[in-house]
Chain A
Amino acid sequence: MSSTAKDITKVSRRRAFSKADRTTLSAFVGIPLFFHLLLVWIPAVLTILLSFTYWSGISISRIKWAGLANYKNIFFDTPAFWEALRNNIIWLGWFGLIATPLGILLAYQIDRQIRGHKFYETAYYLPVVLSLAVTGIIWNFLLRPDGFVNGLFGRDIDNAISFFGNYDINIYVILTIASWRHIGYIMLLYLAGLKSVDSALREAASLDGATEWQTFKKVIFPSMKPVNIIVIVITIIESLRAFDIVYIIYGSSAGFPILGTLVFQNIAGEGASMKGAAYAVILFVLSIGPIIAYLRTTFKSDVQ
């Protein structure tokens, strides 16, 4: 942030702006800033404030100060919160250890132009085009008790394989669905990064007799640091903000609690309370670390 500010002052010292320039510049900066503040930061700050109140969302005069009561309620009285946190952490672990590495592996193989790489690229990229909500609808259609897969196995609704209601396996079912899309997303990001790696590095490594794994580990991977950080941050954010797929499949009943659905369940509908705002703040705090890291890398690479 500070380095960008410095650059601007440097530029302005070098060249005086005309009045028209200044108007244009302030319009270009001011209008997006205005909407950003209006649509992102003001609601965010209001949400934080509201999380310390009791309010049903109806008539502003009815807001009452609650202190930490909503948070106390969540941490000490709501088992669903811990269940949700557990699910989000498993989600993060799965994405971090399985889905993201798979995406990287795919990107690497496709970049090496293995046979049929065009086909793989298209096949894995396809789910990324679909929104998460559509992904949820497709898989719900496939896996629900009267869905396609159960039909294929000749199972009726009374003896259908329980994909969503069996709590020993359903998290892995959900994670597989989410990975279906996430792998392609990571693959795409990484592929773009790999394309920009200087091929001379690779040649030098192979001349020195490095194996494929050594080349990747010692040469390619370190030279892609900015992309790596983005991939890590995206993996974390995607795991924490997960909502769409679960909402499409389970509705707002919190049949499969994750933080995103708890926010929705407590803030929407007749049962609205500022407990939902408190959930949102918790989610915000958990995500802000990765987001700051993400922004810093983006800014750094922009400046360079």
Chain B
Amino acid sequence: MWNYTDKVKEHFFNPKNAGALDEANAVGEVGSITCGDALKLMMKVNPDSQVIEEAKFQTFGCGSAIASSSALTEMIIGKTVDEALAVTNRDIAEYLGGLPPEKMHCSVMGAEALRAAIANFKGEEWVDDHEEGELVCKCFGIDAAMIERAVTVNGLTTLEEVTHYTKAGGSCQTCHEKIEEVLEAVLAKTGALAPAKAHAPGTVGLDAIKPLQPKAEPAAAPKLTNVQRMQKIMFAIEELRPQIQRDGGDVELVDIDGKDIYVRLTGACSGCSQSAGTMMGVQAKLVEALGEFVRVKPASLLPVSAN
């Protein structure tokens, strides 16, 4: 059972302004067939004062759809059409004392019917541009369509980014699997993630690391001598060690072969399920320190001749 407020129940059981309005001069009809709701809003607008003198509705939908329609008519009667345009779906939900997150789309339908009716009054064409999908994050009321849009528009690739952009998954965190599914689906579609390019054994998630943004022109960067480069790498790894040692492990530089940097994870790291993540962390650090792309590989992958 939904946790409807008393105000929602009041407007559902005894809806205000239900029925047809024959002398209407502003009519908006909207609906979402998949969700099973449709709303016809009829208003009588005074052509001189632009005031909405009467408003009635007919709704096919659930309890909160009917309550939202009823609330909407109460909110707009007496307003001018321009004042009414300022009414948002949040206003409708607030008027009702709040709606369950799954039901926010009912208030959206109300706000859209209003815009459609006003467009009809003004003789404009109204295009519905909102779409909705399965509710993913219940805490913030974010649906799959919204996440898809955020991912596509902003080129997001990770769960953390989705949370930063949409808030989805930022509170109770139980929807992370669903968010990752949406993310995977979008990335697979746009090809942003080349899926399942087999990694060489022992190398880790290299293609998951985004290419460096070319902040400074690479060509303009002063070229390091081999010794300078080696020192930078050693220094970066030294900086990382305390952090890894805190977890009972250690990391040791074994060899540098051009873009390939071989390290050995020891202590608690060896055989640890998190070691792939640790390797990625080392790689990120070295890429940052050197300003060039390098690959970090476990020492076990050193070519035999080099040993």
Same assembly? no
Identify the A interface with B (CB < 8 A).
none
